């Protein structure tokens, strides 16, 4: 009976293993099957099994792909639109042509679920435990979803009148249609999560006790705009970007005048400028003290803003305001990438100023919780299990130290849910040890088909400023299926039969679709033919003495 060595084992080899010779009766090395984590999975802040659902989508098993996707992330139609997809930056395919358009396939699956009403089935038995989630942004919604899937009763208390947090009030509708956001939230409610709106929690301990909650997850978003001190003799209208975007969402947008300046260089600044144009400003300009290379916004955000007629004044900082006259100083970047004044000044005429200098979390809610400590930068100190200094009270998203994106917040919610679940059971949660990631150099690609990335169509820049309709369209089924098929399946066997066809000794045994292969080590000579023919690096050559 042949030995099957498909399990993950210690595959560390002596440094000179590849320089040893010897096959046949004296075998110095032999192959084993060994899965590794794909770089896309490794880079995903939400912890998605990207390669897994791409594989299912490639086979047109779309609902199964969606089910696998939402086991990690309840908002695929949202993330397919607003995530900055670090998975694609890590995709090995970039070394051949273009990365797999992972976000576009994710969006396709999310939209299909909305269109066809796909539902996830609850598998966990009811635990009898109740969890309070404070905040209905991406982190709170994610935590609620995963806790419900684990069998807990979850109640979200949201201070505002609508669900979504910064997804609704910080991301304009031309990037995230509200119907899509609402449909994804409804799926969370459909599995039993209760969402209470306009229900601000004044005292966490009192709400926890009165509601008989066994644990609390704090997911308050960063809604407070950072301030800046600009000398002003007779300042015109000045407001912050978060308040402006929220007012537009609520249908209460203030009149900004003909010429609007946005002060800042992040993604929120780009959104505020593009929104101002859509709301009737004849001219919207961005003032930013660094250059394009050092801006916090993603480059495509700046490109889209410029396409829509937004002028970006790089290397400029506002020194003082006199009514509608803005005195700005020209800056220059030093060797450390920091802006330095030059003593050269310019004057700009502006009717309104929108400040987009970042946001802070309102931590006043934490004052009533004994044991909770804040970091020097105003966020909450949490333990590795995301629990604060107060027993049973956890925190994530914008409230803890991290980059502030929808996807990172969603990942925090998932992580916190597993830790809360373990804590409620008197246990600890630990992820499996991460497998090694496979880089491009480890692949043995014997196929180099020219398969360029399928592009999502966009509304012409000249037409975008007319309304808030979505700028970027999704892929068709044919395009999404094609994109999924471009995945190399890095590090994981996809049964291409390369090893089977390459073995000169017939030592590779096919076990059937989905079952992969076995190696008959009585026949294997350790010649490396299978290893060198494995395109995705799902095999390793190890010292033959390590195989028992």
Residue 365 and residue 352 share a domain: no
Provide the β-strand partners of residue 405.
none
- Per residue in 160-218, pLDDT (tens digit) is 999 999 899 889 999 999 999 999 999 999 999 999 999 999 999 999 999 999 999 99
pLDDT confidence bin for 249, thresholds 50/70/90: very high
Contact 64, 120 (CB under 8 A): no
- Looking at per-residue pLDDT, the higher value among 404 and 6 belongs to 404
pLDDT confidence bin for 12, thresholds 50/70/90: very low
By residue count, the chain amounts to 548
Mean pLDDT across the chain, nearest whole number? 89
Averaged over 471-495, what is the pLDDT? 95
Provide the β-strand partners of residue 328.
318, 346
Among 328, 356, 384, which residue terminates a domain? 356
Contact 281, 257 (CB under 8 A): yes
The pLDDT assigned to 237 comes to 85
Say if strands 352-355 and 259-263 run parallel, antiparallel, or are unpaired. parallel
Residue 404 and residue 297 share a domain: no
The pLDDT assigned to 483 comes to 96
- Quote the DSSP letter at residue 315: S
Pairwise CA distance, residues 287 & 522, whole Å: 71
Quick one: which of 165, 166, 155, 163 has its CA closest to 183?
163
Residue 50 and residue 29 share a domain: no
Pairwise CA distance, residues 131 & 143, whole Å: 10
Residue 188 and residue 161 share a domain: yes
Sign of CA dihedral 459, 471, 86, 338: positive
Strands (E), 213-254: 215-218, 224-225, 232-235, 237-240
Residue 352 and residue 235 share a domain: yes
Residue 69 and residue 215 share a domain: no
Q: Find the domain containing 114 and state its range.
A: 41-120+458-485
Residue 338 and residue 237 share a domain: yes
Pairwise CA distance, residues 117 & 66, whole Å: 12
Quick one: which of 28, 30, 32, 52 has its CA closest to 41?
52
Residue 217 and residue 192 share a domain: yes
**Residue 500, domain CATH:** 3.30.70.20
**Residue 170, domain CATH:** 3.50.50.60
Of 114-118, 121-125, 148-152, 232-236, the least confident: 232-236
Residue 138 and residue 111 share a domain: no
Pairwise CA distance, residues 207 & 203, whole Å: 6
CA dihedral 85, 86, 89, 93 (to 10 degrees): -70
pLDDT confidence bin for 20, thresholds 50/70/90: very low
Specify if 4 maps to a domain.
Answer: no
Residue 156 and residue 90 share a domain: no
Specify if 443 maps to a domain.
Answer: no
| Model confidence at 437: pLDDT above 90 | no
| Model confidence at 236: pLDDT above 70 | no
Among 312, 335, 356, which residue terminates a domain? 356
Specify if 348 maps to a domain.
Answer: yes
The pLDDT assigned to 324 comes to 86
| Number of separate domains in the chain | 4
Specify if 375 maps to a domain.
Answer: yes
Joined together, the tokens standing for residue 11 give 């595959």
- Per residue in 330-368, pLDDT (tens digit) is 999 998 889 999 999 999 999 999 999 988 888 888 877
Residue 329 and residue 236 share a domain: yes
Averaged over 42-63, what is the pLDDT? 96
Specify if 446 maps to a domain.
Answer: no
Pairwise CA distance, residues 477 & 302, whole Å: 30
pLDDT confidence bin for 18, thresholds 50/70/90: very low
The pLDDT assigned to 263 comes to 95
| Model confidence at 81: pLDDT above 90 | yes
Averaged over 461-488, what is the pLDDT? 94
Specify if 441 maps to a domain.
Answer: no
Pairwise CA distance, residues 125 & 151, whole Å: 5
Specify if 435 maps to a domain.
Answer: no
- Per residue in 443-452, pLDDT (tens digit) is 998 866 668 8
Averaged over 227-252, what is the pLDDT? 83
Residue 135 and residue 211 share a domain: yes
Specify if 509 maps to a domain.
Answer: yes
Averaged over 236-258, what is the pLDDT? 90
Averaged over 514-518, what is the pLDDT? 93
């Amino acid at each position: 009976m042949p030995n099957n060595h498909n399990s993950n084992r210690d595959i560390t080899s002596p440094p000179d293993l590849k320089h040893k010779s010897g096959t046949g009766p004296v075998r110095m090395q032999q192959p084993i099957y060994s899965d590794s984590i794909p770089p896309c999975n490794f880079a995903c802040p939400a912890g998605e099994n990207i390669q897994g659902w791409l594989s299912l989508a490639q086979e047109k098993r779309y609902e199964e792909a969606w089910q696998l996707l939402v086991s990690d992330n309840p908002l695929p139609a949202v993330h397919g639109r607003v995530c900055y997809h670090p998975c694609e930056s890590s995709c090995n395919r970039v070394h051949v042509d273009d990365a797999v358009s992972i976000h576009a396939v994710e969006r396709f699956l999310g939209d299909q679920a909305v269109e066809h009403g796909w539902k996830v089935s609850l598998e966990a038995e009811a635990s009898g435990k109740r969890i309070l989630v404070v905040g209905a942004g991406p982190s709170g919604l994610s935590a609620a979803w995963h806790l419900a899937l684990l069998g807990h009763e979850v109640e979200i208390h949201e201070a505002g009148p609508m669900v979504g947090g910064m997804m609704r009030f910080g991301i304009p509708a031309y990037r995230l249609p509200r119907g899509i956001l609402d449909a994804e939230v409804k799926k969370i409610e459909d599995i039993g999560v209760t969402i209470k709106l306009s229900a601000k929690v004044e005292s966490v301990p009192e709400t926890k006790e009165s509601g008989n909650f066994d644990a609390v997850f704090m997911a308050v978003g960063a809604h407070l705009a950072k301030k800046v001190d600009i000398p002003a003799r007779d300042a015109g209208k000045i407001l912050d970007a978060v308040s402006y975007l929220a007012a537009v969402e609520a249908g209460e947008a203030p009149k900004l005048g003909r010429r609007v300046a946005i002060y800042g260089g992040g993604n929120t600044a780009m959104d505020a400028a593009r929104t101002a144009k859509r709301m009737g400003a004849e001219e919207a300009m961005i003032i930013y003290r660094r250059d394009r290379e050092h801006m916090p916004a993603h480059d495509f955000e700046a490109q889209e803003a410029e396409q829509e007629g937004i002028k970006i004044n790089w290397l400029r900082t506002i020194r003082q305001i006199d009514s509608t006259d803005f005195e700005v100083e020209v800056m220059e970047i030093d060797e450390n990438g920091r802006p330095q004044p030059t003593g050269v000044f310019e004057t700009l005429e502006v009717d309104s100023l929108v400040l987009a200098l970042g946001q802070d979390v309102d931590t006043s809610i934490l004052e009533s919780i004994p044991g909770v400590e804040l970091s020097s930068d105003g966020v909450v100190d949490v333990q590795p299990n995301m629990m604060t200094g107060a027993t049973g009270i956890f925190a994530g998203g914008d409230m803890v130290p991290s980059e502030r994106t929808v996807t990172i917040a969603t990942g925090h919610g998932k992580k916190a849910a597993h830790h809360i679940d373990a804590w409620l059971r008197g246990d600890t949660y630990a992820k499996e040890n991460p497998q090694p990631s496979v880089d491009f150099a480890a692949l043995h690609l014997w196929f180099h088909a020219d398969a360029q990335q399928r592009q999502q169509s966009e509304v012409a820049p000249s037409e975008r400023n007319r309304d808030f309709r979505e700028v970027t369209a999704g892929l068709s089924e044919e395009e999404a299926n094609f994109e999924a098929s471009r995945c190399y399946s890095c590090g994981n066997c996809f049964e291409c039969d390369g090893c089977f066809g390459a073995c000169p000794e017939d030592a590779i045994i096919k076990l059937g679709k989905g079952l992969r292969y076995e190696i008959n080590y009585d026949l294997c000579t350790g010649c490396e033919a299978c290893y060198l023919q494995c395109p995705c690096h799902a095999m390793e050559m190890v010292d033959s003495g390590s195989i028992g």
